[in-house]
C-alpha cells in the first residue's frame, strides 16, 4: 500500500563498493533507489565484470544523470552518451564507461538491488524460474481499445519489474504480456509471484504465475535448459490470480509460511512422465502460516 515516507541518502541503508565506483541505496517499501557514483576511469568491463562474471552487463537501468558523462555500448554495437539532466533507459547486454575527468553521478530505480552483486557459478546455475502471463488480454483489448491497452500494458510492465527488482530477481526475457525472471531462491520467486498478482489486481488485471527450480545455462543473458521449458509448462496450467509451482520448487518452500495445495498430476508437453504441480498462496492476508500437504 503506498504511504507517505522519506529517506535520506545522507544515511544510505546499503553501500557497495567496487573498482572506481560505489552504490548507495535506500528502500521505499517495494522500490529501491540507488545513487551510483563512478570515478574517472570506471568501466563496466574492467570494474564490474570480474565481480558478476558475465560477458556484458545484464541489468536493465533506468535513471537520471546528475553529473558527468557515461558512454554506453550495446552488444549489437549501438552507442549513446548519457549526460547531466538526461533521463535514460539501458537494456540488458551492454558495456559502459565514464568519459573525461568528471565523476559520473546518477540515481537509478531498477538496478539498485542487484548491480555489482556476485552471482553463483553460471556454468550449470541452479535457480528458481518465474514465468508470468496476463489472463484475458485479448478480451481486455477488445473492451478498452488499443490505446488504452498500450497505457495499461506499460503500467503492468512497470509494476511487474518493480516486483522482480524488489525480490532481487533477474529479468531475462519478456513475452507479449508476460515476464520471465530468475531468482536465487524459491521463496523469493514465490513471494514475487504473489506480489505480481496483487500489483496486477490494483491495475484491474489478472495474471497467472508459474515457478520451477532447476539448472540453467546463461547464454547472452538468456537462460537455457529443460528447466526453462518446465517453468513454461507450469505457468500454462495456472488460472487467473494463481501461483503454481513444480514439485521441485514445492520441496524448497518448507517452513516459509505458504499455503501449499496439490493441483494435480499432469503430462507436461515435451517432458517425460507425469509431474506433480502445486498451488501456492498465503494462509491469510498479511499473515504467513505454513500448511504442508503431500500428494
Asked if 218 and 237 count as a contact pair (C-beta separation under 8 A), the reply is no
pLDDT at 224: 80
Q: Can you list the alpha helix ranges (DSSP code H) found in 181-264?
A: 186-202, 226-237, 247-251
pLDDT at 1: 57
- Residue 146 contacts by C-beta under 8 Å, 6 or more apart in sequence? none
Using CA atoms, how far apart are residues 193 and 64, in angstroms rounded to an integer? 29
Using CA atoms, how far apart are residues 3 and 160, in angstroms rounded to an integer? 19
- Please, what are the domains in the chain? 14-108 (2.60.120.10), 125-282 (3.30.70.1230)
Nearest Cα neighbor of 23 from 118, 112, 102 is 112
User: DSSP label at 202?
Assistant: H
pTM over 0.85: no
Asked if 24 and 35 count as a contact pair (C-beta separation under 8 A), the reply is yes
Query: What would the DSSP string read from start to end of 85-109?
Result: T-EEEE-SSEEEEEESSSPEEEEES
Rounded to the nearest 10 degrees, the angle between the axes of helix 186-202 and helix 146-166 is 150
Buried b / exposed e over 44-58, threshold 16 CB at 10 Å, is beebbbeebebebbb
Nearest Cα neighbor of 209 from 234, 172, 182 is 234
* 295 residues of the chain, pLDDT tens digit each: 568 999 999 999 999 999 999 999 998 877 789 999 999 999 999 999 998 888 899 888 999 999 999 999 999 999 999 999 999 999 888 999 999 999 999 999 878 888 888 765 445 688 999 999 999 999 999 999 999 999 999 999 999 999 998 898 988 888 778 999 999 999 999 999 999 999 999 999 999 999 999 998 876 567 788 889 899 999 999 999 999 999 999 999 987 889 999 998 888 777 767 889 999 986 554 433 333 333 3
Using CA atoms, how far apart are residues 242 and 235, in angstroms rounded to an integer? 9
Radius of gyration of the chain (CA): 20
pLDDT at 289: 36
Asked if 187 and 194 count as a contact pair (C-beta separation under 8 A), the reply is no
pLDDT at 257: 84
- Residue 156 contacts by C-beta under 8 Å, 6 or more apart in sequence? 134, 177, 200, 203, 205
pLDDT at 157: 93
The set of cell numbers assigned to 206 is: 489478472
CA 53 to chain centre: 19
pLDDT at 283: 56
Using CA atoms, how far apart are residues 161 and 232, in angstroms rounded to an integer? 19
The set of cell numbers assigned to 163 is: 516486483
CA 204 to chain centre: 21
Beta bridge partners of 27: 32
Amino acid at each position: 500500500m503506498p504511504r507517505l515516507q522519506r529517506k535520506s541518502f545522507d544515511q544510505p541503508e546499503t553501500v557497495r563498493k567496487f573498482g572506481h565506483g560505489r552504490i548507495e541505496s535506500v528502500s521505499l517499501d517495494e522500490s529501491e533507489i540507488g545513487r551510483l557514483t563512478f570515478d574517472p576511469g570506471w568501466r563496466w568491463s574492467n570494474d564490474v565484470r570480474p565481480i558478476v562474471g558475465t560477458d556484458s552487463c545484464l541489468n536493465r537501468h533506468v535513471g537520471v544523470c546528475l553529473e558527468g558523462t557515461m558512454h554506453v555500448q550495446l552488444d549489437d554495437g549501438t552507442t549513446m552518451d548519457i549526460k547531466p539532466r538526461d533521463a535514460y533507459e539501458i537494456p540488458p547486454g551492454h558495456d559502459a564507461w565514464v568519459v573525461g575527468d568528471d565523476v559520473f553521478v546518477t540515481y537509478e530505480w531498477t538496478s539498485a538491488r542487484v548491480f555489482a552483486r556476485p552471482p553463483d557459478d553460471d556454468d550449470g546455475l541452479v535457480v528458481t524460474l518465474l514465468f508470468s502471463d496476463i489472463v484475458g488480454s485479448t478480451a481486455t483489448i477488445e473492451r478498452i481499445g488499443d490505446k488504452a491497452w498500450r497505457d495499461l500494458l506499460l503500467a503492468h510492465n512497470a509494476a511487474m519489474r518493480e516486483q522482480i527488482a524488489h525480490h532481487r530477481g533477474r529479468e531475462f526475457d519478456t513475452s507479449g504480456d508476460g515476464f520471465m525472471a530468475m531468482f536465487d531462491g524459491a521463496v523469493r520467486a514465490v513471494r514475487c509471484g504473489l506480489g505480481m498478482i496483487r500489483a496486477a489486481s490494483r491495475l484491474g488485471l489478472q495474471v497467472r504465475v508459474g515457478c520451477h527450480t532447476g539448472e540453467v545455462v546463461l547464454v547472452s543473458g538468456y537462460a537455457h535448459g529443460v528447466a526453462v521449458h518446465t517453468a513454461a509448462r507450469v505457468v500454462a496450467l495456472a488460472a487467473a490470480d494463481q501461483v503454481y509451482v513444480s514439485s521441485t520448487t514445492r520441496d524448497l518452500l518448507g517452513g516459509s509460511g505458504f499455503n501449499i495445495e496439490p493441483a494435480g498430476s499432469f503430462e507436461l508437453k515435451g517432458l517425460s512422465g507425469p509431474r506433480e504441480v502445486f498451488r501456492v498462496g498465503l494462509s491469510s492476508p498479511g499473515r504467513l502460516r505454513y500448511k504442508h500437504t503431500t500428494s
